[in-house]
Amino acid sequence: MRTIKLLATIQKIDLELDADRRKFTENKQAMAPPETLKKLAAEVKEAESKVTYWQKERRAREAAITEQSKKIQDEEKALYSGRVGDPREQLARQQHVESLKRHLETLEERALEAMIALEQSQETWEQLKQTFEAQKSAWLRRRTELEKEQEAIVAHARALKMRRESVLKQLDPKEIDRYEQMRKRLGGLAVVKLSHRSCGGCGASLPTSVVQQVRSGELVKCPICGRLLYD
């Protein structure tokens, strides 16, 4: 009876250790930045590049307006200086000035478009940054919680392993080897509790003779799944 009780104790410890390993792995995966956060970071970067583009574009278009205005100013100064006596030349200059002014209007429209585009891109960028920072903060808080959980899991597993070693010292090495082999073969569950005359592993109803052997403390396997039974 002592052997099966010790093996049952080892089995319970191993199941807890298995659970700790699974939880540790799950937490480690959850601690990585989520794909949604990575995608949002990329969107923020793209939005920032658009802001930079429209800032440069606005400056370039405003510089073009300044240059065009200077041309108009120079042409009008020459036109009204009195130095142009030929009526045909004067008419040509007037037409040229009008052409320059029409082009200036086009440049001003383009500058206005750039300003609007810049304002819109800045607004989009700010909104994305706020969303990103909020999600990043939530993830960092969760990661801190998970880090604490990981520490607790490691401490718990360490205590279980110490207890396991203490129990193993009380068992015959041959029994330990048999148990380990059964665990590998039976999906980690080698020792199960008798449950109302049924196997706690596969649920099979057991013959009375098997039940009596289990209750007497003998090392008995379930005739269906092959797991060791204890009461």
DSSP notation for 36-94: HHHHHHHHHHHHHHHHHHHHHHHHHHHHHHHHHHHHHHHHHHHHTSS----HHHHHHHH
Q: What is the distance of C-alpha 62 from the center of its chain?
A: 43
Cα angle 116, 120, 122 (rounded to 5 degrees) comes to 115
Q: How far apart are CA 74 and CA 78, in angstroms?
A: 6
| Distance (Å, whole) CA 1 – CA 4 | 6
How far is Cα 6 from Cα 165, in angstroms, rounded to an integer?
A: 12
Shortest CA distance to 15 belongs to which of 192, 197, 224, 154?
Answer: 192
pLDDT at 82: 64
- Please report where in the chains the tokens 């010790």 appear, as a residue: 6
Q: Which domains does the chain have, with CATH numbers?
A: 33-168 (1.10.287), 173-230 (no CATH)
Residues whose CB is less than 8 angstroms from the CB of residue 51 and which lie 6 or more positions away in sequence, other chains included: 118, 121, 122, 125
From the CB of residue 230, how many other CB atoms can be counted at a distance below 10 Å? 24
Taking 50 as the pLDDT cut, the residues of the chain under it are none
Rounded-to-integer distance, Cα 164 and Cα 10, Å = 6
pLDDT at 74: 87
Provide the token pair at 123: 């607004």
What are the φ/ψ torsions at residue 191 (nearest 5 degrees)?
Answer: -125, 125
Q: Taking the model in full, what pTM does it have?
A: 0.72
pLDDT at residue 4, as a whole number: 93
